[in-house]
Structures are given as C-alpha cells and as structure tokens.
Chain A
Amino acid sequence: MSYTPPQEYLERYADVLINFALGAGTGISSGDVVWVNSPENAKPLYAEVCRAVWRAGGHVIADYDPASEPGLDPNRDFYELASEAQLDFFAEHYWRGLLDQCDWVVQIRSFSDPHALKDIPPEKIMRRHQSFMPAVEWQQAKMSEGRFSFTIGLYGTEAMAAEAELSIEEYWQQIVAACFLDDPEPIARWREVSEQIEHHCRFLNGLPIDRVHVEAEGTDLWLTLGEHRKWIGGSGHNIPSFEIFTSPDWRGTEGHIRFSQPLYIYSSLIKGVELEFREGRVVSARADENEELLKQMIAAEGADKVGEFSLTDARLSRITRFMADTLFDENMGGPFGNTHLAVGLGLHDCYDGDEAAVSEEEWERLGFNQSAVHTDIVSTTDRTVTAVLKDGSERVIYVGGQFQSDG
C-alpha cells in the first residue's frame, strides 16, 4: 500500500462530502440513496464515505472501479478491444434504474495513472462519452427538478502528485488545506466560505450585466451574459469550491483568450491553450503542446461553444499550487485567483428561475449550450474583468484576483 492520509483527515473529508456538500450545505437525510463512485486506488476515502452515508442513515449504491495499472488496465483494455458497437453501447435499463433510484451521487476523483489512456485515439473516448448522453440528460432533468444532486472530491495518488511535480505529502497538504481538513470542524469553515461566496454572488446578481469584458496579457474576450442568468457558487458540487460562475449565452462570445494553466483531457496534457471566438464559436484553437488533441476535443458536438465563465477570489481559496487536476486548478487561489472558461455543456443551475419549467426549446433560445463535453480551461495571470451594464455604463467587477463587491 502506498501513502494513506491520516484517518482523521479521511473522516473529516467524508463528513464534509456527505453532511455538508450534498444538498448544498444540508447533507443527506436518513433513508436517502447515495451512489458512491470511486476507483480502487481511493479505497480509504471510499470506505469512509460509505461509513458516513450509513451513519447518516442513508443507503449506498456502490460503484467501485478497478484501478489502471501498467499491463493490468481494464479501462485501457476496453478501448483497445471495443468495436464501434461496443463503444456506442448504452446500458439503458441499468442507467434508468440507477438514476431513478438515487438521490445523490458522490464521485471520488482519483487516478492511479493519469496517462493510462494516453495512446488511445481520443475520438474513441469521445464516442464513448457521447453514448452516455442519455444518462447525462436524465441526471440534468432530475437535478432541475431538485431531486438529484452530486458532489465531487479528490483523492491524491503518487502518480497524480508526480504530474503536478509535487511530493505526495505536498499534494495531500493542498487537499487538506483547501478542504479545511486540518480544522476540527471543517463544516463550520465551509459554512463561512459559503457566506462569503453568497456575498459576492449577491453583488454580481445585483448588477444588470449585459456583457463582460476580460482583459489581460494575451486575452481580450467579450462574453454576453444572456437572459435569465445568475452567478452562483458554493453549491457543494465540488469540494473544494471557491469559484463563482455563470453560464453565458454562448452566442455572444467574441475575441481571444490565452490560458496560463495546462489542461488535462483524456489522460494527456495540453499546454499553452489559446482560443479565438467569433459569433460564439471557436474559430481558432492553438496549443504549445498536444494541439491536435485540443482540436479533436473541440470538434465534438457543442464543444466549440462556451458553457461556463468563472472567477475565483484569491482571498477565499487556500489552493496555492498547480495540482494537475481540474477540480483544484479551476479553484486556484494564489496571487491573482483564477478565471476559467468551460467549453461544452452549459450549466442549467445558472438559470435564474425554476429550471424544471424550462423546455428544450427554451434552453436553446436562451443560449444554454448542450454537449457531452464540459472542459474547464484555467488562467491565473492578472486579469481585469469589466461588466458592461444594460444602461451602457461600465463597472470593474474583478481585478488583481479580487471581486470588487465592497467598493
């Protein structure tokens, strides 16, 4: 067995996930059904999460996956062996039953080998993802009705730490600090963070924003907020989460952006990503490394449109190191916080109203993007974000890594 974090931290992490993150601060109720998804390399946290569910009176639907090990990697074997029919297969009855049954899902992100699928043609992986679209849609629909929600936690492995050029102890130190696991009452700390996030959201949602202008070195990007939008954060969907985000009208994106942080997709690292948008679509995608993979990702249906725009206040986030994982990197603090865009799926919970009452046509009319892809790309350089309000006036909402909520 490799490095295992102290039991105390594992118990606190599970406590935060089950009794705070699910239900956006409320935790689960007795009798709730929780689908727990984890690879075997995260077993210590998986075991604590199950225990926390049972202690809270809930039920576990276990979804425990084999790890990828060199030479013994079923995840890789599948892609090597699968025919098109196998890539396209969707276990409809199974997924229908699973999603009908579950009130919550906890996903533990962890990779025994972040590069396990490195040489697999990405179109195969995307095709596989595409086949799971019905399950994604069912989850969205159930979430819109307020009957299903999720949270995601991270479990560090030696290989993940190596990817970030950190030792396993340093890597876990980031997780522990970011999730307040070094505090005897991490849930109390998370409630404080939630209050601060709400404060910033109130500021942003109080402004009648028409467009947003992001300026920085290598970046000059315009986004259009769109009708019925709200800024949200602190939903508990990710632990940790410090970001405040919205899902703009994809059609109003113009200009270019350069991302300072590397991006991982499909087990590969893409560095130096630059995107240029015209009339809402990516018209040029460049990268210093692995540009081909970036282009393939963007070629997936709906992946050439913006699904999310997000800002993290440097004062809130305790994440200070590059972690080579989206969950942390999209919440990075450091000197200037971070800005990120996601290409792909729009986020229905950024709709300002009752999501369940919105029809397919209405989502389309409002410019919420639909896609099997949702890829966050992050920049931590100093940026200034200016809001253009409906009356044409301008207001700086974020500068030097800080929201301008108080002044």
Chain B
Amino acid sequence: MGYVPPQEHLERYADVLVNWALGGGDGIRPGEVVHVTAPESARPLYIESCRAIWQAGGHVIGDYRPDDDDERNWERVFYDTASDEQLDFFAERYERGFVDEVDHGLYVMCWNDPHSLSEVDPARMMRRRVSQSPFREWLDAKEDAAEYTWTIGLYPTPGMAAEARLSIEEYWEQIVVACFLDDPDPVQRWREVTAQVEAQCAALNAMPIERLHVEGEDIDLWLTLGEKRAWKGGGGVNVPSFEVFTSPDWRGTEGRIRFSEPLYIYGSLIKGVELEFRDGGVVEARAEENLALLTEMIATEGADRVGEFSLTDGRLSRITKFMANTLYDENVGGPFGNTHLALGRSLRLCYDGDPDTVPDEEWERLGFNDSVVHTDIVSTTDRTVTAVLTDGTERVIYASGKFLDS
C-alpha cells in the first residue's frame, strides 16, 4: 500500500460526498441505496464512503474494482481478448435491475496507472462505450425524474500525481484544499460556495442572453445560448465544483478556440487542442500530440458538437495546479479561472424547466445534443466573455477570470 491520506481527511471527504453532495446538497436519507464505485487503489476512501452511508442509515451496492497493474491489467486483458460480440454485449436484465435499485451513485475516480489502456484501440473502447449506453440513458432518465443523484470524487495515486508532475503529497494537498478537507466543517464551506455559485447563476439567468462571444489569445468563438436555457452550478454532482455552466444550442457555434490545458481521454494525453466550428459542427481539429485519438473521439456520433460551455471564477476555486484530470482541471482557479467547452452530450439539467416532461423531439428542436461522449476541454488563459442580449446590446459578463456581477 502506498500513500494513505490522514484518516481525518478521509472521513471529511466521505462526509462531504455522502451527506452533502448526494441528494443535490442534502445528502442521503435512511433507507436509500447508494451504488459505490471505486478501484482497489482508492480502498481507503471506498471504505470511508461505505461507513458514511451505513452511518446515515443507507444501503451500499458495492462496485469495487481490481486495479490495472503491471502484472494483471484486467481491463486491458478484456480488450485484448474480447470479440466484437463480447464488446457489444450489454447485460440488459442485470443493468435494469441495478438502475431500478439505486437512489444514488458515488464514483471515486482513481487510476493506479493512468496509461494502462493507452495501447488499446480507441475504436474498441468506444464500441464498448456505445454498447453500454442504455445503462447511462436509464440513469439519466431516472435523474431527470428526480429519482437519482450522483457525485464524483477524486482519489490520488502516485501514477496520477506523476502525470501532473506533482508529488503524491502535493496532489493530495490540492484535493484537500479544493474540497475544504482542512476545515473542521467542510459541508458548511460547501454550502457557502454553493450560495456564491448560485448568486452568479442567478445574475446570468436574469440576463436575456442570445449569444456569447469568447475572446482571448487564439480564441474567437461565438456560441448561441438557445431557448429555455439555464446557467447551473453547485449542487454536488462533482466534488469539487466551482464552475457555472450551460448547454448552448449546438447549432449556433462558430469560430475557433485553442485550449491551453492538455486533455486526457482513454488513458492518453492530447496536447495543444484547437477546434474550429462552422454551423455548429467541428470542421477542423488540431492537436500537437495524439491528434489521431482526438479525431477518433470527434468521429463518434454527436461528438463534433458543443454540449456544454462553462466558466469558473478564479476567486472561488481553490485549485491552483494542473491535475491532469478533468474533474479538477475543469474547475481550476488560478490567475484567470478557466473556460471550458465539452464536446458531445448536452446537459439536460440546463433546461429551464422540468426536463422530465420534455419529449425527444423537443430536445432536438431546442438544440440539445445527444452523444455517448462528453469530453471537457479547458483553457486557463485570460479570456473576455461578452454577452449579446436579445435587444442587441452587449455586456461583458466575465473578464480576467472573474464574473462581473453588476
């Protein structure tokens, strides 16, 4: 066993996840069923999460997974061995029962070896992902019906820290600071952050925004908000989360954007990503490293369209370092906060109303994108975001990493 964080931090982390993040800021209730997913490397947090659930009177459906390691790279063996039929197999009855059973999902993100799948053909991984998509769709539907909530937390390994060129102690320190685990009452601190994020959302939602213009070095991008859009943030789906985001009408995206931060997908690093959009679709994708993987990802159905646009206020986020992980990097603070786009699936929670009542055709009419992919790509350079309101007036909403409240 390698580095194990202090017990006090682990207990607070589990407390934040179980008693705040799940249930959209309310925590779980007695009798509720929580699906807990974690690999062996995250064993200490897995155990504390189970304990917190039991202490809260909940039930655990454990989804503990073997690490991929040098001797037994379990996932890799699957991809190396599986036929197309095996890649396409979806355990429908099992997954249906699973979805019917669970009230919450707690995912501990952690990799013993972040590159363990780097030699697997990405097309095979995507094929697998597509075959498993009903599971995700059923959970989405359950979430839309307010019968399911989920949260994600990060747990460090030496391999993850090395990716970010940090020591394991420095890496864990970012997690501790970002999640307020150094505070005796982290749940209280999260309530405060949520209040601030909600105030930023309220200010944005009060503006009749039609389009957004993002300008910066190597960035000149237009986005169209679309009808019935809401800006969202907080809520506990990710811990930590400081961002304010929406799901634009994908059809109205024009221009180009260069992302300063590297992107990880399928165990590989893609650096220097640049995208150009025309009529809502990616017409050109460039990268300094691993372009083929980026191109492959974008070739997935619906992955050439914008699913999310997000801004993080540099004053709110306590994340200051590149963590080589989307959960943190899409919430990075530092001198200019961050802006990120996601390619792929739109977020139905950004519908301004009850998403459960919206039929499929209406999602399509509103320009909410559908895809098995949702890939966030981040920029932390200085950007200015100007809103063009429905009456044609312009207003700068975000500059130098800060929301402009008045």
- In the bound assembly, the distance between CA atoms of A86 and B30 in angstroms comes to 9
Docked-complex contact B66 and A46, CB < 8 angstroms: yes
**B60 proximity list for chain A (CB < 8 A):** 78
Judged by a CB distance under 8 angstroms, whether B3 is at the interface is: no
**A40-B64, A65-B62 as given contacts; A51 in contact with B81, CB under 8 Å:** yes
A54-81 Cβ-contact flags toward B at 8 Å (1 or 0): 1101011110111000001110011001
Judged by a CB distance under 8 angstroms, whether A357 is at the interface is: no
Judged by a CB distance under 8 angstroms, whether B93 is at the interface is: yes
A44, A54, A85, A95: the one within 8 Å of B86 (CB): A54
For residue A82, which residue of chain B has the nearest CB?
A: B54
**A57-B86, A97-B93 as given contacts; A66 in contact with B47, CB under 8 Å:** yes
Docked-complex contact A43 and B72, CB < 8 angstroms: yes
- In the bound assembly, the distance between CA atoms of A364 and B66 in angstroms comes to 43
Within 8 A of B (CB), among A369-395: none
For residue B38, which residue of chain A has the nearest CB?
A: A66
Within 8 A of A (CB), among B57-82: 57, 59-62, 64-66, 71-72, 74, 77-78, 81-82
Docked-complex contact B66 and A43, CB < 8 angstroms: yes
For residue B4, which residue of chain A has the nearest CB?
A: A72
Judged by a CB distance under 8 angstroms, whether A119 is at the interface is: no
**A59 proximity list for chain B (CB < 8 A):** 86, 89, 91
**B98 proximity list for chain A (CB < 8 A):** 93-94, 97
B31, B61, B62, B66: the one within 8 Å of A85 (CB): B31
Judged by a CB distance under 8 angstroms, whether B354 is at the interface is: no
Judged by a CB distance under 8 angstroms, whether B51 is at the interface is: yes
**A40-B40, A82-B54, A97-B93 as given contacts; A64 in contact with B66, CB under 8 Å:** yes
Docked-complex contact B74 and A50, CB < 8 angstroms: yes
Number of interface residues of B (CB under 8 A): 42
- In the bound assembly, the distance between CA atoms of A64 and B62 in angstroms comes to 9
Docked-complex contact A77 and B66, CB < 8 angstroms: no
**A40-B40, A44-B72, A54-B81 as given contacts; A93 in contact with B54, CB under 8 Å:** no
- In the bound assembly, the distance between CA atoms of A62 and B44 in angstroms comes to 21
Docked-complex contact A93 and B77, CB < 8 angstroms: no
Docked-complex contact A78 and B43, CB < 8 angstroms: no
B13-34 Cβ-contact flags toward A at 8 Å (1 or 0): 0000000000000000011010
Docked-complex contact A96 and B65, CB < 8 angstroms: no
Docked-complex contact B94 and A65, CB < 8 angstroms: no
**A54-B78, A64-B64, A66-B43 as given contacts; A78 in contact with B54, CB under 8 Å:** yes
Docked-complex contact A81 and B66, CB < 8 angstroms: no
For residue B81, which residue of chain A has the nearest CB?
A: A54
Judged by a CB distance under 8 angstroms, whether A33 is at the interface is: yes
- In the bound assembly, the distance between CA atoms of A82 and B95 in angstroms comes to 26
Judged by a CB distance under 8 angstroms, whether B227 is at the interface is: no
- In the bound assembly, the distance between CA atoms of A55 and B30 in angstroms comes to 43
Docked-complex contact B85 and A57, CB < 8 angstroms: yes
Dominant SS among interface residues on chain B? helix
- In the bound assembly, the distance between CA atoms of A92 and B71 in angstroms comes to 37
Judged by a CB distance under 8 angstroms, whether B96 is at the interface is: yes
**A66-B47, A97-B98, A101-B94 as given contacts; A50 in contact with B89, CB under 8 Å:** no
Judged by a CB distance under 8 angstroms, whether B106 is at the interface is: no
For residue A65, which residue of chain B has the nearest CB?
A: B64
- In the bound assembly, the distance between CA atoms of A100 and B43 in angstroms comes to 30
- In the bound assembly, the distance between CA atoms of A83 and B77 in angstroms comes to 41
Docked-complex contact A95 and B97, CB < 8 angstroms: yes
For residue A46, which residue of chain B has the nearest CB?
A: B66
**A73 proximity list for chain B (CB < 8 A):** 47
> How far in angstroms is the closest Cβ of chain A from B9?
15
Number of interface residues of A (CB under 8 A): 42
Docked-complex contact A98 and B51, CB < 8 angstroms: no
Docked-complex contact A97 and B97, CB < 8 angstroms: yes
Within 8 A of A (CB), among B95-111: 95-98, 100-102
Docked-complex contact B91 and A66, CB < 8 angstroms: no
Docked-complex contact A86 and B57, CB < 8 angstroms: yes
**A97 proximity list for chain B (CB < 8 A):** 93-98, 100-101
For residue B67, which residue of chain A has the nearest CB?
A: A43
> How far in angstroms is the closest Cβ of chain B from A109?
17
Docked-complex contact B66 and A40, CB < 8 angstroms: yes
For residue A62, which residue of chain B has the nearest CB?
A: B65
**A50 proximity list for chain B (CB < 8 A):** 74, 77-78
For residue B46, which residue of chain A has the nearest CB?
A: A66
- In the bound assembly, the distance between CA atoms of A62 and B55 in angstroms comes to 27
Docked-complex contact B82 and A94, CB < 8 angstroms: no
Judged by a CB distance under 8 angstroms, whether A121 is at the interface is: no
Docked-complex contact A100 and B77, CB < 8 angstroms: no
> How far in angstroms is the closest Cβ of chain B from A7?
9
> How far in angstroms is the closest Cβ of chain B from A157?
16
A21-35 Cβ-contact flags toward B at 8 Å (1 or 0): 000000000110100
- In the bound assembly, the distance between CA atoms of A91 and B51 in angstroms comes to 18
Docked-complex contact A74 and B50, CB < 8 angstroms: yes
**B205 proximity list for chain A (CB < 8 A):** none
**A40-B40, A54-B81, A101-B91 as given contacts; A74 in contact with B46, CB under 8 Å:** yes
- In the bound assembly, the distance between CA atoms of A327 and B82 in angstroms comes to 32
Judged by a CB distance under 8 angstroms, whether B390 is at the interface is: no
- In the bound assembly, the distance between CA atoms of A30 and B43 in angstroms comes to 34
**A96 proximity list for chain B (CB < 8 A):** 97
Judged by a CB distance under 8 angstroms, whether B83 is at the interface is: yes
**A133 proximity list for chain B (CB < 8 A):** none
**B44 proximity list for chain A (CB < 8 A):** 72
**A54 proximity list for chain B (CB < 8 A):** 77-78, 81-82, 86
**A82 proximity list for chain B (CB < 8 A):** 54
**A66-B43, A93-B101, A100-B93 as given contacts; A77 in contact with B51, CB under 8 Å:** yes
Judged by a CB distance under 8 angstroms, whether A283 is at the interface is: no
**A40-B66, A50-B78, A54-B81 as given contacts; A94 in contact with B61, CB under 8 Å:** yes
- In the bound assembly, the distance between CA atoms of A94 and B97 in angstroms comes to 5
> How far in angstroms is the closest Cβ of chain A from B12?
17
- In the bound assembly, the distance between CA atoms of A94 and B101 in angstroms comes to 6
**B74 proximity list for chain A (CB < 8 A):** 47, 50
- In the bound assembly, the distance between CA atoms of A81 and B60 in angstroms comes to 12
- In the bound assembly, the distance between CA atoms of A265 and B316 in angstroms comes to 54
Docked-complex contact B85 and A85, CB < 8 angstroms: no
- In the bound assembly, the distance between CA atoms of A89 and B83 in angstroms comes to 38
User: Top 7 A-B pairs ranked by shortest CB distance?
Assistant: A97-B97, A101-B94, A93-B100, A81-B54, A54-B81, A93-B101, A94-B101
Q: Give 9 pairs: A residue, B residue, CB < 8 Å, sorted on A.
A: A40-B66, A54-B77, A64-B64, A64-B65, A65-B64, A81-B54, A86-B54, A91-B33, A94-B97
Known A85-B57, A98-B97; 14 more pairs at CB < 8 Å? A30-B85, A47-B72, A50-B78, A51-B81, A54-B78, A54-B86, A64-B65, A66-B64, A74-B50, A86-B57, A91-B101, A94-B102, A97-B95, A97-B98
